Amino acid sequence: MELTPILTDVSGAISLVSSPAVQPILALLTYPVGGNPMQYVFEKAFAHLNLDWRFLSLEVVPEGLADAVRGMRAMGFRGGTVADPHRRTVLPLLDSTTDTAALLGNVNLVVGEENRLLGDNTEGRGLVESLRLMTDPAGKRCLILDAGELAVAVAVELASAGAAEVRIADRSAERAAAAAGLLSGKFPVVVSSLVWEGGFHVPEDIDVLIHALSLEPHDAKTHLPVEMASLRPELIVADLAVNPDEAWLLHEAAARGCKTIDGLGALVSQMAVDFRLWTLLDPDHQLMREAVEEFLEL
C-alpha cells in the first residue's frame, strides 16, 4: 500500500496570495512555546525570498485547541505547524488529513486552502530527503533504533520510498512489535522487530542505520549500546539528535568510514518540505540551518 499525501495533490491549487492586501499567516500551535525555533527560521526564509508572509508562535492550552483551530480557519490562515501536546488531538478538528497522518495518528503540519485546514505528518520526510542526497532509499535494508513516534514516522516514509526492508529495534519488545505492526501489510516491504539490548550488533546486510530517538536536542554524547565494530564503511548512519557536534554515534561511524546524516540536517530538510507545501517555493537550506543553529546556540 503506497500512501500518497493528499496535500501533494492539492498544493498546486493553492495560490500564493489571494489578494495583495492580505498577508499570508502561518502559526505554530503548542503549549508551552518554550524554545521552539520555527518562527525564527521560517521568517528568515520568507525574508530571503521577499515573501510578505508571517509566522506566529501561539501558546494554546489544550482546552483552547478547538477554538484556536476554528479561529485559524475563520481568519484564512495558510496553515502552520503543530507540536505537543496537540499533535494527536488536533487531527479530528481538521477538515482532512493525508494517509500518512491518518496512519500515524498525529499531525505536525497544517496547510490552509479556501478556509479548509488539511493535516499532514512530515516528520519522517526530512530523513528520507537527506538520505536521497546520498542514495536512493528504494531497495535498501534499513534498521531503526527506537520505536517512538519519530521512529515510526521515519519507518513509514522509508517504506513509502520503496525500502526493501525495515527493521525496528527497541529496548521494549512490545513497543518494537507494535511499531512494526503498524506498517505490516500496508506496504510492499519486509517489516520486523528486534529487541535492542546491550552490545547490539548491526547485521551485515543492513544498508542504513538510523538512531531515531528525538528531533529535540538530547544528550547525544551518551555512548549507545551498539557494537562499533559492526559499523561497516559501506553503512549510512543517521542520528536524529539536533546537535551534530555532540552526536557520539556519528563521530564513531565517520571514524570507521561510514557516510553520516545528522539530525540538524534532517530537521532542516523537513522544514524545507513544510515550506514548499505552504508556498510552492524551495527555501535556502543553508540559511535555514544557520538560523536553527543561531536560535538554539549550537
Q: What are the pLDDT digits (tens) for 234-269?
A: 999 999 988 766 688 899 999 999 999 999 999 999
104-161 per-position pLDDT tens digit: 999 999 999 888 999 999 999 999 999 999 999 999 999 999 999 999 999 999 999 9
Residue 106 lies in a domain: yes
CA-to-CA distance for 278 and 40, rounded, in angstroms? 17
Do 133 and 219 share a structural domain? yes
Residue 204 lies in a domain: yes
Residues 259 and 152 in one domain: yes
Specify the CATH number for the domain of residue 218.
Answer: 3.40.50.720
Same domain, residue pair 34 and 135: no
Q: Which domain holds residue 198?
A: 125-264
Residues 133 and 244 reside in one and the same domain: yes
Whether residue 88 is found in the same domain as residue 109: yes
Residues 130 and 246 in one domain: yes
Choose one of 64, 99, 121: the last residue of a domain. Answer: 121
pLDDT: is 55 or 248 the higher one?
Answer: 55
Q: What domain count does the chain have?
A: 2
Predicted local distance difference test score (pLDDT) of residue 221 = 59
Q: What is the mean pLDDT of residues 270-287?
A: 97
d(CA 246, CA 222): 9
Q: What is the pTM of this model?
A: 0.88
Residue 99 lies in a domain: yes
Q: Provide the angle, in degrees to the nearest 10, between the axes of the packed helices 38-48 and 285-296.
A: 150
Q: What's the mean per-residue pLDDT of the chain?
A: 89
- pLDDT at residue 197, as a whole number: 84
Q: What is the CATH number of the domain that holds 107?
A: 3.40.50.10860
**CB-CB contact of 252 with 228 (8 Å):** yes
d(CA 216, CA 214): 5
pLDDT tens-digit map of 24-44: 999 999 999 888 999 999 999
- As beta bridge partners, residue 82 has 29
The answer, yes or no, to whether residue 19 has pLDDT greater than 60, is no
